[in-house]
A = this chain, B = another copy of it.
Amino acid sequence: MKNVIVVTGASSGFGALAARALARAGHTVYASMRETKGRNAAQVKEVENYAADHGLDLRAVELDVASQKSCDTGIQEIISKNGRLDVVVHNAGHMVFGPAEAFTPEQLAELYDINVLSTQRVNRAALPQLRKQGNGLVVWVSSSSAAGGTPPYLAPYFAAKAGMDALAVVYSRELARWGIETSIIVPGAFTGGTNHFAHAGSPDDKARAAEYEAGPYAGFGDQVLKGFASIVPADADVSAVADAIVRVVDAPFGKRPFRVHIDPTQDGAEVVNGVMDRIRAELLRRIGLGDLLTPRVVASLSHSAD
């Protein structure tokens, strides 16, 4: 079944890999990114070349997740060209690294914007169409930190990803009766293979950061990074995340996994989420809302046969 799919943050990292892998699997894929005519012009060209070289139904689309207007325009462009939108992959995100106290509140707000408000903007642009169809899939690229290991010096990022994961869980319940399914991808730390760590932001309050470095946390940043290096296996393969997204999309409606963990570090998220998701399901059943755990069959699922 050929789906029309948008992947956010697809200029690099998991997003770029997922867009290509979904196109290779035969889907119509929009690799969304900001500044397609500016800083990401080269990435757009790469997407076009990759599509041409492999004969894929894949292209870039301008969509800045920081702007509601841009989200609306990008999603509308996809819908007007295809008459539908089947899958939204929330992947856009950014990381920062440093002592929590040295980040300004404005930096925390910015991280929440990039990692969480971004999904809200895309949802508000896309969900009316998915609800109208009575069929769709929302894929969230969360983080193992939301339930598993949380090494220090990543507080603003972990706070944002925990917020995103919570949003994903509640949205899944509120979309189920519309015939929209939810899958949450939970990647562990991949310190190589993407620019996620290399491009991490740093605290604006340098004086506060220096106090940590001059005190009991001297050399701590390196210690944490060495800690990561010691648990990320040398063969950790970032394409495993893209492959997991393809498997989720290609699974039958109503049978897709609520979560898929791709964590070479085995930081424990899979154990915790296993317990947490069961306990949350139990609460819904206790209050008579157990139907929200499975997407309702609303529309005919034969759109690809049109």
Contacts and interface: CB of A to CB of B under 8 A. Distances in A.
Interface of A: 68, 99-101, 103-105, 108-109, 112-113, 116-117, 120-121, 123-124, 127-128, 131, 145-156, 158-167, 169-171, 173-174, 177-178, 205, 208, 211-212, 215-217, 223-224, 226-228, 230-231, 267-268, 271-272, 275-276, 279-280, 282-284, 286-289, 292, 296, 298
Nearest to A124: B101
Contacts of A287: 151, 224, 226-228, 230-231
A136 to B, nearest CB: 13
A287 B284 CA distance: 37
A48 to B, nearest CB: 31
Contacts of A148: 276, 279-280, 283
A289 to B, nearest CB: 6
A167 B101 CA distance: 10
Contact of A227 (B100, B152, B276, B288): B288
A159 B104 CA distance: 20
Report whether over half of chain A's contact residues are helix, strand or loop; otherwise say mixed: helix
A231 B284 CA distance: 11
A217 B121 CA distance: 21
A34 to B, nearest CB: 16
A174 B149 contact: no
A227 to B, nearest CB: 3
A276 B147 contact: yes
Nearest to A228: B287
A223 B163 contact: no
Contacts of A164: 159
Nearest to A66: B105
Contact of A100 (B117, B158, B174): B174
A182 B162 CA distance: 19
Contacts of A286: 227, 230-231
A170 to B, nearest CB: 4
A151 B286 CA distance: 11
A163 B174 contact: no
Contact of A163 (B99, B104, B112, B275): B112
B151 A283 contact: yes
A109 B117 contact: yes
10 contacts: A108-B116, A145-B166, A147-B276, A148-B276, A153-B170, A155-B170, A155-B174, A174-B217, A177-B216, A268-B280
A150 B237 CA distance: 33
A178 B287 CA distance: 44
Contact of A155 (B166, B178, B282, B284): B166
A161 to B, nearest CB: 8
Given A108-B120, A109-B117, A178-B216, A170 B149 contact: no
